[in-house]
Structures are given as structure tokens and as C-alpha cells.
Amino acid sequence: MNSLKSSFRSLLYYPSAVLGILVVFLLVFTAVYAMIKIPYNEAIRLWRGGEEFWYQNPKFAPPSWINFFSSKKYAESFAVRTSDGSMVKEVTPGKEGTSTMEASYTFDFMSDYYPQDMILYLTSRYEEKQPFISAEWLTPDGRKLRIANLALSQKQTYRFSQDAKLKTKLRTDDILPALFSDPETGDLIKGQYQLLITGATFEAESDINIEFVFHGQVFGLAGTDHARRDLVLPLLWGAPVALAFGLIASLGTSVLTMIIAALGTWYGGWVDELIQRITEINLVLPFLSILIMIGTFYSRSIWVILGATILLSIFTGAIKGYRSIFVQVKESMYIEAARAYGASSPRIVFLYLIPRMIPLLIPGLVSAVPAFVFLEASLAVLGLGDPVLPTWGKIIENANSNGALYRGYYYWILEPATLLMITGLGFAMLGFALDRIFNPKLRDV
């Protein structure tokens, strides 16, 4: 055990191993953070949710940090509402239960592009008499535009870009450019804009709530996809899924392979023969095709695929590698001694043979992780990803099927791809370094 410890200490002499360890730690940290911040059920509910969850976000919006790399700035999306105070609302009571209301939101518009759309989501409470609002638009150059007068129903959506009356009034089909530019020159004006909404209710219990949604070109830390979903969610949640799939598959495969190889070598005879035959049969089986068939015909659940992956990966060439070493270990003195004092076969296999192999197991285990992480992504790219879980592969698949590369939504593919790449390279670098430390043949090479 001491030698194992010192072996791990010598990892620190390999810069690639240090980098790999760092990546693995970061991943574990991200995974834990994701699971605490967004619990499993919540994550799935959000990922599967449609417009009702994500209406505030624009579609196909790149992340807002692309503004750093671009001399022309894109408009950032936001949403404010009176219900949580992000939009200021003042209510002044009037006579006989009536009241007037004033809500306003002031924001700096510093983008070089016009926003995609602006939307008001209006909810109100009333018995018989509908509340009434009127919206006004204040530009930096001091103009005041009347946008709309509306009698509110319980729930109402007002899209600036779709208002036919406003189109005639502004004499244009594209309302948003008209709202954000000088009417004389047609140039875009940067500066402080204000949306002012005044309303009146005519009943004691009547109330108005306003949500103002601004769809710019960019959104948040990671951007959004075709279903307006914030990509932060699947990017964060991809980490625990990838880690779990990669580690469980790799651990299950290598440990089971080793145990089976040890049992085969120890008992010999027909057990050994059977294992060899199963290995040869497994080589004939088309691995990827079987996984695709399982995904298509039976279940796309990640756990079913994981089980099938482990089952198909046990009896591979690795079993022969372990076997050839076990054959040597079996003849060594300490096994002889164990036999002499009457240790049982299971005891020898599990306490004498297998622990000897742990130094060989660890590098193989770590190096195998990327293959399984990418296997999950590959299946997702073929459209066989888990139907409910948000994963990195799923994002790439969504992006691909929506033509992200053709239409220029590069962020959509690059973000999950970079994370996958970092994960794969991190484990691979660590695995390579471990291999060189634990494998004496390679140490000097």
C-alpha cells in the first residue's frame, strides 16, 4: 500500500497528470454543484419543459460573452416583472375601489443591433370590469411614443413586433428598428430607454401584474437553443451524467474483467476454456450495432445502455492481458505459501491474486473513462440519447438536427464539444501518466 501511495505522489512530477487531476477535480466539483443547485427532478422538469418555462428567452441566442470578441455589440436579453420587484410598480388608490397604477422600467441600450422582440405578459385579476393600461416608450433623445392602449383580460400577451396599429402609426413593418432609431435619419440610437406603463383598475380586488421580456441577440452565460432553453442547464447537468456514465462503465468493466480473469486462471480447466470462448464470441458481436439496436428497439434509458455497455465490454482483449499476468502470479511463492497454510480458493482469488493487480487496474480504469464518455455522446448524436436526461451529447444532437453548423450557431456545438473534449483529455492525460508510473516496462521509455 505504501508503494501505491508513493506511486501516486510521483504523479505530481508529470505536468500532464497534474493538469488531468485538475480537470477531474473541476468536473467533480461542477457535477456536485449542478446536483445541489438544480435537483434531479427539477432539472428534468426544466429540460423537458416547453414554452411555459422558457418563454422569456430568445431562440438561438449565443452566450453574452461573445460581445468580448466582437467589436459590434449584441443586445443582451433580459426579463423583468412587477411580481418580484425587478420592475417598479406604484399603486395609488382612488375613489370607490378604483386605483391607478404606474410601472416603469429604465434600461441602457448600448448594442449595435436592434433587439429581436419585446413582449409584455400581462396578468390581471378582476370580477367584471376589465383593468386598462397604456404603454409609452421614452427614447434617449427625449421623444415619447404612445405604444398601445389595452383592456386587459386575465392573461394577455402583447408583442411589440406584431402590433398592426403600431405598424401603421410608425409607418413601418419593422417596429423594433423604428423604436430604437432616429425617425429622421433612421440611425440606431444608444442610450437610456424607458418603458412606462400606466394602468387603471376599477374594482377593489382588481390587480395588474406585468412582465416585460426583452429578446436581444445574446443570452446569459451559455446561450439558448431552438426551444428557448437556457444551455447552462444541460451544460451543468452534462457533467454528472458524463462522469457517472464514464466512471461506472469503466469501473464496472475493468473490475468485472479482472475478477473473471482471476477466477478463470485460478480454477483453470473448463472455466478458463469457457471464458476464452465467450471472449471470442464477443469479438464477433458488433458492439456499436448492438447498442444501437438496444437503443432503437428496447430502451433508450441511459441505465439500460450502461448495463449493455458493461456486459459487452467485459469479455474483450483486456481479459487476455489480465489472464497472462495472473498465470505468472499464480506460480509465485506467496500464493504457494497461502495454499500451504490452507487458504480457500475464493480467499486466494480475492485477497491474494486480485490485490496484486490493482496497480495495473488503475491506469486502465482511468484511461477507459473517455471512451465511455464519448460513447454516450456518440449514441446521443445518433439520436439514441436518454430521452429525459440533459447531456452534452444531446445538445450536440439538437444542434446538429437544427443545422447549427449551416446556420452559424457555432456556440451551440462548441460549448458541449469543448466540455466533452476537456473531460476526455483530462482523463486520458491522467491515465497515460498513471500508466507510465505503474507499468515498469514503460517507466524508462
Which positions touch other proteins (CB under 8 A)?
16, 268-269, 272-273, 276-277, 280-286, 288-290, 292-294, 296-298, 317, 320, 367, 370-371, 374, 377-378, 381-382, 396, 400, 405-406, 408, 410, 413-414, 417, 420-421, 424-425, 427-429, 431-432, 441-442, 445
Nearest to other proteins of 32, 405 (CB atom): 405
> What is the three-class DSSP state of 142?
coil
Q: What angle is formed at CA 209 by the lines to CA 203 and CA 211, rounded to 5 degrees?
A: 160
Least gap, CB of 317 to other proteins (angstroms)? 5
For other proteins, the closer of residues 210 and 384 by Cβ is 384
Q: 62: which DSSP letter?
A: P
Give the rounded distance of the alpha carbon of 191 from its chain centre: 35
Question: How many other β-carbons are positioned within 10 Å of the β-carbon of residue 27?
Answer: 20
CB 290 → other proteins: shortest distance, Å?
A: 6
Q: What is the separation of C-alpha 417 from the centre of its chain, rounded to a whole number of angstroms? A: 11
Nearer to other proteins, 71 or 289 (CB): 289
CB of 190: closest distance to other proteins in angstroms? 30
Grid cell, residue 166, equals 403600431
Burial class (CB in 10 A: 0-12, 13-18, 19+), 185: exposed
For other proteins, the closer of residues 189 and 382 by Cβ is 382
Please calculate the CA angle 436-441-444 and round it to the nearest 5 degrees. 65
7-13: Cβ within 8 A, 24+ apart? 7/359, 7/437, 7/438, 10/437, 11/430, 11/433, 11/434, 11/437
Q: Return the number of the residue (118 or 302) whose C-beta is nearest other proteins.
A: 302
Residue 14 carries which side chain, given as an amino acid letter?
Y
Q: How far is the CB of 283 from other proteins (least distance, A)?
A: 6
Nearer to other proteins, 119 or 258 (CB): 258
Minimum distance from residue 284 beta carbon to other proteins (Å): 3
Q: Which residues pair with 102 in a beta bridge?
A: 90, 198
CB of 249 to other proteins, least distance (A): 14
| Min dist. Cβ of residue 215 to other proteins (A) | 25
- SS3 of 58, please? coil
Residue 105 Cβ, how far from other proteins at the closest point, in Å? Answer: 38
Residue 383 Rama label (left phi>0; alpha psi -120 to 50; beta):
left
**Least CB distance from residue 242 to other proteins, whole Å?**
13
Contact status, residue 392 vs residue 374, Cβ threshold 8 Å? no
Shortest Å, Cβ 288 to other proteins: 6
- Would you say 119 or 420 has its CB closer to other proteins? 420
Distance between CA atoms of residues 334 and 352, nearest Å: 8
Sign of torsion over alpha carbons 398, 403, 409, 410: positive
**Of the two residues 66 and 189, which places its CB atom closer to other proteins in the complex?**
66
Residue with smaller CB distance to other proteins, 260 or 371: 371
Question: CA separation (Å) from 422 to 81, 233, 244, 428?
Answer: 38, 18, 16, 10
Query: Judged by CB, which is closer to other proteins: 165, or 277?
Result: 277
C-alpha 264 chain-centroid distance = 42
Exposed (0-12), middle (13-18) or buried (19+): which is 52, by Cβ within 10 Å? Answer: exposed
* Closer by beta carbon to other proteins, 228 or else 436: 436
Minimum distance from residue 57 beta carbon to other proteins (Å): 24
- Which secondary structure element, helix H or strand E, spans residue 158, and what is its range? strand 155-159
